Every structure is written in C-alpha cells, then in structure tokens.
Amino acid sequence: MVYLTRKLEFSASHLYHNPAFSAEENRRVFGKCNNPHGHGHNYVLEVTVAGEPDPATGMVLDLKELKEILQREVSDRMDHRFLNYEVPELSGQIPTCENIATVIWRLLDPKITSGHLHRVRLYETPDLFVDCYGESIGAQAGEGDAR
Amino acid sequence: MKLHLWRRYKFCASHRLHSAQLGEEENRRVYGKCNNPYGHGHNYVVEVAVSGPADSSTGMIANLADLDAFVEREVIEPFDHKYLNEEIAEFQENIPTTENICIEIFNRLRRFSLAKLERVRVEETGLNSFEYAGEPAGVAHER
C-alpha cells in the first residue's frame, strides 16, 4: 500500500455561533470566534489517498485528476467564501475545523475512484489542525457504505 | 468517522544527556556534544492529538481553551525555561532524551478528561521528532 498526499490552500471566513445558546453563553464558549462579523484563515488541506500503484502507469491515481477533484469539490466551494453562509454542506453546523474536515471527507470520498481516501488533514493555522479518518467507500467496495 | 484534533505548543528548555550507568568516557562516546556537563538547550515543539466525537452543540472535540489551559498547567509552565534534569522530578532518574520527554508529556496529558489523548509528538529541532501513543491496554511502560 502506498499513501499519496496532495496539498491545497484556501482562504475563507467563518464565525462560531450556536442559536440555541444565549449571547453570553456564545461568547463564553466560543470566545473571539463568536465575533458576529466573522474572521478568516488560510486553510491548508492535505488529502491522503491509499492504494497500490497501477503496474501500467506506476501511479496510485492520476495527480491531475486528484487536483481537478480538489479544485471542484473544495476550492470552488470554499475558497474566498464565508463558510457559514455560502457552503450549503455546512449549513446548520458550526464551521469548526472538525466539521469542515468531515464535510471535505464526505465530498471527496465518493469522487476518489482509484485507491481510496485514507485521511483528510485540515490546518486552520499551523498550530491547530484536524485529522479525519472516515469509512471510505473505496476501502469497503462490495460491503456497502456503512456511514 | 474518527476525528483527531491536533494542537501545537512550544517550550524552551535545557538538558544534559548523561547516564549514571556509564563511565565518563562512555558517556562522551554515546552522547557526544549532548554530554556537555553544563547542559544545552532547544526550542521544543509539542504536538498533541486528542480524539472524540465533535459535540453537536459546539462542533468541537474539545474546547481549545480547556485543552490549552490543561497543557499549559501540566507541561508548558513546568517545562518552559527550565533545566529539565534538575527541575523536573522525573528526569532526575530518567535521561531527558526527547524519547523520554515525549513519554513523560504523554503520561501527564493522559489525565485530560474532556477528550481521549491519542498521541504526542515532540520536535527537539526541526530535524528530529518523536511520537508516542501510549502502550497497548494492560502494558505498563517500563523505563
């Protein structure tokens, strides 16, 4: 098994606010992230695909194809967007690093048809990042989607 | 869906690698410059991974403010700007190699109650790093 990682950067704004909390509770739980005007980050995404190199091409999957998938599924949706309001997949969720990484996993997993998605790592800053390991459709082909 | 939240911290400290079980010459041979009797220092980087479901009301595995306060109290405050050999009780017997520092930090952080500690990674310099994820259940770490 070989693990291939492709990196992507996107910049976006967000804010943390739970309408079920009082204003005071929102400020206490989310601190500066509760600023109603939002704030932004340069996110760095690392997508790792696992698989065996194809004997004919020597590749786990075509990097150009992966680059296009990342462009379409992640950059086009999230780059230079306000995540709370402009990304329907995050609507009703607080756009924490945990939730964004989970959404990215679900967007990418069905699109990776050579090898299978192994890990989504999303950096919000160099000091804060999340690893998401889902149940890849590709890794359990024939066993159905257990999610 | 399994999520690991990683947080990166820094501390600066000095240490000396010297084994009481080895002679002077053997210590110099094994540890080289790190055996300098006056010690020397590093800018350590500590990465801590915790896991758990993202809470549905906050979207978080653990509130960073809680994790930061815990790591600050258990590791950064006691280790930062200290001479590890003399000022951390565990390193008066154990040699403060980055391997042992990594295990000690893991053991201190496993008491965090708001998420499960998964892994600790320590960089001594940008060129070398060590990771520790605890021992399998029921196996105590022998030092």
CATH number for B26 = 3.30.479.10
User: Which pLDDT value is given to residue A141?
Assistant: 59
- Amino acid found at B35: N
The span from the CA of B112 to the CA of B123, in Å, is 22
By a Cβ cutoff of 8 Å, what residues of chain A touch chain B?
Answer: 16, 18, 20-21, 29-31, 93-99, 101-102, 105, 126-135, 147
Evaluate whether residue A143 is within a structural domain: no
B81 is catalytic: yes
Burial B51-76 (b: 16+ CB within 10 A, else e): bbebbeebbbbbbbeebeebbeebbb
Are the beta carbons of B63 and A29 separated by less than 8 Å? yes
User: Which pLDDT value is given to residue A52?
Assistant: 96
Tokens in use for B9? 């911290």
Domain with A61 in it: 2-137
Evaluate whether residue B94 is within a structural domain: yes
Which whole number is the average pLDDT over A8-32?
Answer: 97
Q: What is the pLDDT of residues B10-57, one digit of tens each?
A: 999 999 999 999 999 999 999 999 999 999 999 999 999 999 999 999
Kindly report the CATH number assigned to the domain that includes residue A74. 3.30.479.10
Count how many domains chain B has.
Answer: 1
User: Which pLDDT value is given to residue B136?
Assistant: 78
Q: Which of A5-14, A49-58, A88-97, B130-139 has the lowest mean pLDDT?
A: B130-139
pLDDT higher than threshold 90 for residue A19: yes
Evaluate whether residue A144 is within a structural domain: no
Task: Tell me which residue in B1, B6, B59 faces A96 most closely, judged by beta carbons.
Answer: B59
Name the more confident of A82 and B140: A82
Evaluate whether residue A96 is within a structural domain: yes
Evaluate whether residue A76 is within a structural domain: yes
Evaluate whether residue B16 is within a structural domain: yes
Evaluate whether residue B55 is within a structural domain: yes
Evaluate whether residue B77 is within a structural domain: yes
pLDDT higher than threshold 50 for residue A146: no
Domain with B48 in it: 4-132
Evaluate whether residue B141 is within a structural domain: no
Evaluate whether residue A120 is within a structural domain: yes
pTM passes above 0.80:
yes
Spatial neighbors of B57 by CB under 8 A, at least 6 apart, are A18, A20, A21
Identify all chain B residues contacting A94, using CB atoms and an 8 Å cutoff.
58-60
Please, what is the average pLDDT of chain A? 93
Are the beta carbons of B59 and A93 separated by less than 8 Å? yes
Count how many domains chain A has.
Answer: 1
Evaluate whether residue B8 is within a structural domain: yes
Residue A117 C-alpha, separation from nearest chain B C-alpha, in angstroms? 12
Evaluate whether residue B89 is within a structural domain: yes
Evaluate whether residue A142 is within a structural domain: no
Q: What is the pLDDT of residues B100-128, one digit of tens each?
A: 999 999 999 999 999 999 999 999 999 99
Identify all chain B residues contacting A147, using CB atoms and an 8 Å cutoff.
1
Evaluate whether residue A147 is within a structural domain: no
Per DSSP, helices labelled H in A73-114 are 76-78, 83-86, 97-108
B34 is catalytic: yes
Q: How far is CA B126 from the centre of its chain?
A: 15
Evaluate whether residue A74 is within a structural domain: yes
Decide: B53 and B13 in contact? Cβ < 8 Å. no
